[in-house]
Chains A and B, each alone.
Chain A
Amino acid sequence: MSVLPYLVAAWVFLAGCYGLAASRNLIHAVGCLSVCQAATYVLLLAVGYRDDATAPVYSDIEPGSRPVVDPVVQALALTDVVVGATVTALLLALVVQISKRHGTVDPDELSELRG
C-alpha cells in the first residue's frame, strides 16, 4: 500500500500522455497537458507526506509540538501550479491564433505549411 500514491501519479501522467497522442482537438490537447502536469502535483505531495503530520505553518501550532509535512515539496508544487497555469494560457493563445489562421483546431489537419 505504501507505493499506491506514487503509482497514482504515474497512472495520471500516462493517461495524460495517451490523451495528448489521441487528441483530435488542440484545446483538448492543452487540457491533456494539464493532466500530465497534475501528475507531478500528486507525486510531489506524496513524496512530502508524513503520517499524522499537519501543515508546515506555525502561526497556530507550537514549534516542535507536532510533526509537519515537507515544506520544500509544497513550495515546488506551488511553483509547478503557477508555471502550469501560465503555460496553459500561452498555449491557449496559440490555439486561438491557429483557429483564426487555419480555420481548424484538429492537429491532424494542420500538416500543410502556409506563408
Chain B
Amino acid sequence: MNRRFRLWLVAVGSAGLAALLVAACLELPDFGGAWHPYGDRAVRASLDRHTANTVASVNFDQRAFDTLGEMTILFAAVLGCVVLLRQTRDEHRARPEPADVEPPVRRYALIVLPVALLTGLYVIAHGQLSPGGGFQGGVVAATALHLLYLGADYRALERIRPVGLYEVGDAAAACAYLVLGLAGVLAGTAFLANTLLPYGTFNTLSSGGTVPLLNAAIGMEVACAVVVLLARFLDQAVEIEEESRA
C-alpha cells in the first residue's frame, strides 16, 4: 500500500468518523449544565464517609476495584519496560563519566531537591483532603530524586537510587493494595469495601477509613514505578553501549 493511497483511505475514514462524532456531540447534554446525577451521588457518598477530596473518594473507595486494575496496568507496563530495556548479549555497560555541572545549576538543583521531595510526600499524605493523591505525589517525589542527575551526575544518582530496592518497593506496594482489599473480605464485608476502619473526623489526616492507606500504597507504587522506568531509560542513554563490531 503506497503512501498516497493510505492517506486517501485515512481521509475517507476520518470524514466518516468526524460526521459520526459531530452527530454524537450534538446529542450530548449541554456543556456546563446542572444535570450530573453520578457526580451528585459521588459527592454525597464521599461526604458520608468523611473524605474531603471527592476525587480521592471516587478513586480509592467507590471505584477502588477499578484503581486496582489501573495499578496492575502500571505494574505490567513497568515490567514490560524492564524486560524490553535490559542489557543484551552484544552490549556492555560503560562506567558513566563524572560530569562538570555549572555552579548555578548545581546550586539550584540541590536547593530544590529536598523541597520537591517534601512536596511530593505532602501531596501523597494529603490525598484524601486536598487536590492530589498517590498518583500525582508519587510522580513528583520520583522526579525530585532525578534533580540529583541534573545537579551532580549519574554516579551520584546511582548512589541514592538502588534500582533493585525500588523494584521490590513497587511489588510490595502492589501487594499492600491487594492485602488491604483482602482485609475487607476477612472482616466479613466485600473486597476493597471501605467499612473496615472508623471514618474519623472530617477534614483531618486520618479521615476516610481505608482511603489514606490505599492512597499511600498507590503513592509508593507510582514513585517506585517512575524511578524504575526512568532508571531503565537513563541506563540506555548513559551506560549501555553496543559492542563495536570490529
Contacts and interface: CB of A to CB of B under 8 A. Distances in A.
Interface in B65-95: 66-67, 70, 73-74, 77-78, 80-81, 84-85
Contact of A90 (B29, B55, B66, B77): B77
A65 interface: no
Contacts of B159: none
Nearest to A95: B84
Interface in A97-111: 97, 100, 108
Contacts of A82: 70, 74, 135, 222
Contacts of A86: 73-74, 77-78, 225, 229
15 contacts: A10-B18, A48-B39, A51-B33, A55-B131, A56-B53, A58-B47, A58-B52, A58-B53, A59-B129, A71-B46, A71-B58, A72-B42, A86-B73, A93-B80, A96-B84
Contacts of B10: 17-18, 21-22
Contact of A63 (B36, B47, B53, B77): B47
Contacts, number: 152
Interface in A38-63: 46-51, 55-59, 63
A6 B32 CA distance: 12
Given A59-B129, A79-B59, 20 more contacts: A3-B25, A3-B31, A6-B25, A6-B28, A21-B7, A47-B28, A50-B33, A50-B39, A58-B52, A58-B53, A69-B36, A71-B54, A73-B39, A75-B63, A79-B67, A82-B222, A86-B77, A89-B77, A96-B233, A108-B3
Given A46-B31, A71-B46, A57 B73 contact: no
Interface residues of A, number: 51
A86 to B, nearest CB: 4
Given A18-B14, A57-B130, A108-B3, A71 B85 contact: no
Interface size class of chain B, counting residues whose CB lies under 8 Å from the partner chain: 35 or more
Interface of B: 3, 6-7, 10, 14, 17-18, 21-22, 25-26, 28-34, 36, 38-39, 42-43, 46-47, 52-55, 57-59, 63, 66-67, 70, 73-74, 77-78, 80-81, 84-85, 129-131, 133, 135, 202-203, 222, 225, 229, 232-233, 236, 242
